[in-house]
Amino acid sequence: MSALTDALYDHLLTSVRSRLPGAIDGMIKHEMFFVLDDFLQYTNAWREDIRLRATRNRTDYEFESSEGTIITLIGVVNDNDIPVRAAMPVPGQLKLLNTPQQTETLFATVSLTVVHPENVTDFPEIPDWLLQKYCGAILDGLLAAMLSQPAKPYTDFGLAGVHSRLFAKTKAEARGAFNKSNLFGGQRWRYPQNFATGRR
Amino acid sequence: MSHDTVAEMVASARVLLQDQIPPYRYTDQELVDNINMGMLEARRVRPDLFLTNANNMPHYHDVDSTSIALDPQYHTTLLYFVVGHAQLRDDEDTQDARSELLLRKFTSHLLTVAS
């Protein structure tokens, strides 16, 4: 994890500790995984372009991310940026809907979520920009998760509801922003397509 | 005085029990057993305190420098259990009331912010 992410996590931890008397750091870090996973699954914010070598007469390929866990296939294009019809029946398994007639390079854009940390009490690895841009949202999600735990010194279902609603609102805004590639006032892009259903 | 090790916890308990001069009224083994029981009771009401060792609870045997595997902010809470449980065996009204107060304080510290 980068020094910047470490610093941002520390900042977050300091804020959470002061709002949750009696909470232990291990539990906060444990819940962070679920909050980040929820955020990334909903927004598809963390994306990666994975390069594949498609060969003649072969439609099924396996691929993996070096950064996170693959959850959704955003789209596939070839070397000329032309969309290629494909599906991902199982995360990490690409199925081309048309059999390639020649060897070509494809680029599969996928959305990712966090990988389970080695220790349950470690923070998950995430890109720096995610925590920089959405620190407030992550804080709301984390507080909602912690405050809704029963029989704890910091249990407060009312406040949990408040933070949960704030988190949901920011997730929705983030999803819209990433669909427009974070372009202020931008229109929905044709590339990358959310559904690679055909050529235009 | 810190309560980070078994020896420190037992020493602190002896101060509250007014039992610092041997021969002790409450033996070392009794107080160590109380620490173990307190840990199990804490595990029952606050499993989040034992995320990494829930299936392998720490068990202490001797009064030594073994660290107590509990978040430091709850060491005083555990001390209340050790002292309260030690006094449970006594059969005097004042001791009963004190024991009950300390054991209730142990539970309330784990479950609420109340001091």
pLDDT tens across B54-108, in order?
788 999 999 999 999 999 999 999 999 999 999 988 766 567 888 999 999 999 9
Assess whether pLDDT exceeds 70 at residue A186: no
The CA distances from residue A71 to A40, A44, A48, A64, A123, in Å, are 9, 9, 11, 11, 20
pLDDT tens across A127-159, in order?
989 988 999 999 999 999 999 999 999 999 999
Q: Does B52 touch chain A (CB under 8 A)?
A: yes
Q: Does A120 touch chain B (CB under 8 A)?
A: yes
Which pLDDT band holds residue A188 (cuts at 50, 70, 90)? low
- Within 10 angstroms of residue A155's Cβ, the number of other Cβ atoms is 18
**Cβ-based contacts of A153 with chain B (< 8 Å):** 109-113
Return the percentage of chain A with pLDDT > 90, whole number: 70
Select from B51, B52, B113 the Cβ nearest to the Cβ of A153: B113
Name the nearest CA neighbour of B5 among B77, B70, B81, B85: B70
Best residue in A28, A146, A152 for a mutation probing chain B (most B CBs within 10 Å): A152
Q: Does A154 touch chain B (CB under 8 A)?
A: yes
Q: Does B71 touch chain A (CB under 8 A)?
A: yes
pLDDT tens across A43-82, in order?
999 999 999 999 999 999 999 999 999 999 999 999 889 9
Select from B45, B51, B113 the Cβ nearest to the Cβ of A22: B113
Report the chain B residue with the minimal C-alpha distance to residue A31. Answer: B48
Select from A24, A119, A151 the Cβ nearest to the Cβ of B71: A24
Is 0.90 exceeded by the ipTM? no
Select from A21, A24, A119 the Cβ nearest to the Cβ of B48: A24
Which pLDDT band holds residue A199 (cuts at 50, 70, 90)? low
Query: Which residue's entry shows tokens 């931890």?
Result: A13
Q: B1: burial class by Cβ within 10 Å (0-12, 13-18, 19+)?
A: exposed
Q: How far is A20 from chain B (nearest CA, A)?
A: 10
pLDDT for res A200: 54
C-alpha span between B80 and B68 (Å, rounded)? 15
pLDDT for res B80: 96
Q: Do B48 and A151 touch (CB under 8 A)?
A: no
SS3 A50: strand
Kindly give the interhelix angle for A128-147 and A157-179, rounded to the nearest 10 degrees.
150
Return the percentage of chain B with pLDDT > 70, whole number: 96
Eight-state DSSP code of residue A128 = H
| pTM for the model | 0.85
